[in-house]
Structure 1
């Protein structure tokens, strides 16, 4: 599909990482120990990520409540994917199969949960 931050210039990538870090720090300060929860436009979003069993470079990232704010869920799921890749291989480069650039009508939302799939790029 597309990839977020994979082919941006290093300056833009650094700016994007800084923005994500600020979002993460904001989430920490707002929610304390709830490390998988972020706030977007005053709405708390729960996010999670997990590696695929057969390929640890690939992952699934989820966020909810997508039925309250799809924009907030998109940001939270993207944040979870970036967090996974940074912790797993030390880079935020992601090849998204289903991700933030997926057309909204094609984004998989089930029971209020948005699900992204991606692969960390070395």
Structure 2
């Protein structure tokens, strides 16, 4: 019985962390990754706004942080526009580092918000 109670408490705490992260994303509060700030922006496809491209700069501050900044921007975009953070990535943050698209010092990720229909 103690194990079940402990698992319930852990589940509640995890849920609170998710809510806090979602609230921070919707508030527009600036988020640091690996202790650094990155310039990131999302562009939507005009014909299909659920499709997007994220561009992240300041890669000299660390690629791992830039990747997470891109993921965060994508999640924030989908959450704001569709109420969910489910993403089907074309080129996402979880690909091997050598497969990431970096052009002119900017990281590019692309995907589609899903589950909103």
Q: 1:80 to 1:97 in 2, by over 3 A?
A: same
| Structural mapping, 1:6-21, within 5 Å | 15=14, 18=17, 21=20
- Specify which of 62, 65, 70 is matched with residue 77 of structure 1: 70
Deviation at 1:97, TM superposition (A): 0.6
Larger strand percent: 1
Q: 1:106 to 1:21 in 2, by over 3 A?
A: farther
| TM-score normalised by structure 1 residue count | 0.69
Q: Is it true that 1:97 corresponds to 2:90 in the alignment? A: yes
Do the aligned residues in 2 keep the contact of 1:38 with 1:46 (CA within 8 Å)? no
Total equivalences in the alignment: 103
Q: Secondary structure at the match of 1:40?
A: coil
Q: Secondary structure at the match of 2:38?
A: strand
Equivalence for 2:80: 87
Q: Secondary structure at the match of 2:37?
A: strand
Unaligned 5+ segments in structure 2 are 1-9
Larger helix percent: 2
Q: Tell me how large the CA RMSD over aligned residues is.
A: 3.0
Equivalence for 1:44: 37
| TM-score normalised by structure 2 residue count | 0.72
Deviation at 1:85, TM superposition (A): 0.5
Unaligned 5+ segments in structure 1 are 1-10, 29-34
More RCO (CA 8 Å, sep 6+): 1
Q: Is it true that 1:58 corresponds to 2:57 in the alignment? A: no
Deviation at 1:24, TM superposition (A): 7.6
